[in-house]
A and B are shown apart, each in its own frame.
Chain A
Amino acid sequence: MRGEMRRRGIGVLVASLVAGLAWGQEVSVYGTTMAQVWKSEVPGFDTKTFTPATQFLGIDATKLGTENLSLHLYGWGTSDLGYVKASGAKADGDLTYGYLDYRFDRANAEIKAGRFAINQGGGFEQVDGVSARTDLRGGFTISAFGGTPVLYRPDDPAASKDYGYQRDLIFGARLGWRWKQVGEFGVSYLQDGKDAAKDLTPAQPVDYTRKQMGADIHLMPTAAVDFSGRTIFDLASHPDTPAGVEKPSDIAEHDYTVRVKLPGQFAVTGNFAERNYYAYFAGTTLPSLFRQDDRDKFRGYGANVSWGAASGLQVVGDYRHTHRETYGDTTQFGGEVRWVPAEKFLTGFGAHRVNATREVVVDPMHPSYSLTHTEARAWAMYGTEKITASADAIVQKYQDKTNPNLNGQAWLYELVASVGYQVMPSLKVSGDLGYGKTALAKNEAKGLLRAEYRFGFGRKGGR
């Protein structure tokens, strides 16, 4: 019943939004049509060929009766001539967003209604509902949203029977204070679902609801120092901790980064992150994978040094160490180069080494295996007004061929080459060819044809 109402609601939403186009003074229609084909050779299995066709479509209409009102729609649909999903379905699609947006002339105030993504403080959510924001005097800013969460039900209905029932509404707010030329501080709240699983009648074993509070900060007191980060608290009501078991922390995440610009176009960046999975994974729709009951903790820190030359050369060296209590330590280091050797030509190179703890398995013959590996990548792009071309190669060399996930292969790679032609200002066609070796497929060849078009009044600036 609820699912039927939701489908009707989305139908009414899309119909209303499309009807709104009639009032649009400036309408942009843009999209990408893709036809893919890929062939996979997996030892011991038949060679398989997949042929999906996908359409992405977006519409932006501005000045809907007034200068300040606009409409934005974006979604995709796909169908496969040969491919069948795990559920048996051969077609799929999604309305990514579809909303009316009213921007006020003052205070950067804005109201959105429809389906939209909300990103404030610690949460990135997709919502069917309403959001509003405005700047206040004294540097304060406030935003809030409310509605129903966009539910992405898994193909298997049995895996989601409590999912929509518990997540009956979503709302949140953020209050920020901006210190001109220095930074911003914010506190935010997010709630998804009214009642925790343990408070329902009867109580449910899996909790899909969330209550979170976040604190975020950005400081740039001088042009040379930039500090940003956030802390997220889990406010959800969890079942009582069994006797003798330590009560987990309510702090879900600390994540902070500081960047210092040095003379000579050098910059040094440091990051620290800590996550408590019991709190951080609250509300997951995949509890079998994102396990709260492990009471696991993660800590990571790293640094990188970058140098950018006026000649279009950018060099980054990075290091990162992570520790997960139930797994162990991992150290990653390497470097990347981006270079513009000539006008219309852009290229990049990178290599990283990852040293990881051995994975322990229950096998007396082979009690552990290593995930240590090295990765290298090189790419280049060239573009004129009419022609574009690019090539991208990535290779991974795993240290331990006895890792059962590698099926005896240590070297894995993928090469992708692309050529495009701008047929007219509003239409570009391009094609990608890819070839690679994966741990599962001995050989994998891929082809993709792409037609990108944009009609009407495009946005200025970027895209």
Chain B
Amino acid sequence: MARKMMFRVFAVVLGLGLLTACGVVSPESSFAATHPQELGAGRPMCSECHGDEVMKGSLKRYGAFDHTPEFVKDHRFLAGQDANSCAVCHAPSFCSDCHGGKVVMKPATKLGDRPDRMSPHRGDYMTLHRFEGKADPSSCFQCHGRANNDKCRVCHQ
């Protein structure tokens, strides 16, 4: 009952939002489609150049996009809110190295010449997955739960 009520409230809010959207579209000009300067190698720290400025596209501080070790590990949060900001520097194929719906080889093999990139499944992951899958199968689910699981199915039928 509560679930249905939550869905109805959400639908009403969304419907009202859509009805009024045409009249309330932001008059601001769009953010740059690509970063105007070539970036150097390695993980960029946006705040080194932009300081505490606010990014026009996302209204967040540039520091929120600093590619710290924590950002690289937890990038799912900002990517879910600000995919457009990611696209300023990253082509979609960059994301597809790991996040393809169907992947032909493990990312660590494809990026064998880039040990600096965070690539899942390095080394003998076939053995390691027996541990990680038991400790937390939800970490597998994010990539293999609904796609990219043909190889899982060979054993897990």
| A interface residues with partner B (beta carbon < 8 Å) | 30, 32, 34, 36, 54, 56, 58, 60, 72, 74, 76, 78, 86, 92, 94, 96-97, 103-110, 116-117, 119-122, 124, 126, 133-140, 142, 144, 150, 152, 154-156, 159, 173, 175-176, 178-181, 183-184, 186-187, 189, 211, 213, 216, 218, 220, 223, 226, 228-230, 233, 235, 250, 253, 257, 259, 267, 269, 271, 275, 277, 280-281, 283-286, 288-290, 298, 300, 304, 306, 308, 314, 316, 322, 324, 327, 330, 336, 338, 340, 346, 348, 354, 356, 359, 371, 373, 375, 377, 379-381, 383, 388, 390-392, 394-396, 405-406, 412-414, 416, 418, 420, 430, 432, 434, 436-440, 448, 450, 459-463
Contact = CB atoms under 8 A, between A and B. Distances in A.
Given A108-B84, A218-B64, A154 B145 contact: no
B60 A220 contact: yes
A294 B76 CA distance: 27
A461 to B, nearest CB: 3
Query: Which 3 A-B pairs give the minimum distances between C-beta atoms?
Result: A461-B35, A462-B89, A379-B115
A324 B133 CA distance: 11
Contacts of B124: 396, 412-414, 436-439
A414 B153 contact: no
Interface in B76-134: 76-81, 83-84, 88-96, 99-102, 104-105, 109-110, 112-116, 122-124, 126-128, 130-131, 134
B133 to A, nearest CB: 8
A438 B126 contact: yes
Contact of B141 (A228, A290, A322, A459): A290
A460 B101 contact: no
B122 A394 contact: yes
B95 A117 contact: yes
Given A218-B64, A286-B156, A371-B134, A461 B34 contact: yes
A34 B104 CA distance: 11
Contact of A96 (B74, B96, B112): B96
Interface of B: 3, 6-7, 10, 13-14, 17-18, 21, 24-31, 33-39, 41-42, 44, 47, 52, 54, 57-61, 63-64, 68-70, 74, 76-81, 83-84, 88-96, 99-102, 104-105, 109-110, 112-116, 122-124, 126-128, 130-131, 134-138, 140-142, 144-150, 152-154, 156-157
Given A280-B138, A288-B156, A432-B113, A74 B92 contact: yes
Contacts of A288: 156-157
Nearest to B153: A154
Contact of B38 (A72, A142, A218, A461): A461
A96 B70 CA distance: 28
A463 B134 CA distance: 35
B99 to A, nearest CB: 7
A94 B101 contact: yes
Nearest to B142: A124
A336 B69 contact: yes
A9 to B, nearest CB: 16
A395 B123 CA distance: 8
Given A175-B17, A280-B138, 10 more contacts: A72-B91, A72-B92, A94-B101, A103-B30, A139-B59, A150-B101, A306-B70, A371-B130, A436-B124, A462-B94
B63 to A, nearest CB: 5
A306 B43 CA distance: 15
Contacts of A381: 114-116
A462 B39 contact: yes
Most chain A C-beta atoms within 10 Å of own C-beta, residue among B115, B131, B147? B115
A377 B122 contact: yes
A298 B136 contact: yes
B145 A290 contact: yes
A275 B146 contact: no
Contacts of B127: 396, 405-406, 412, 438-440
A173 B18 CA distance: 11
Given A152-B150, A235-B6, A290 B137 contact: yes
A285 B147 contact: yes
B64 A220 contact: yes
Contacts of B102: 94, 96, 152
A116 B23 CA distance: 28
A271 B74 contact: yes
Nearest to A183: B60
A327 B30 CA distance: 50
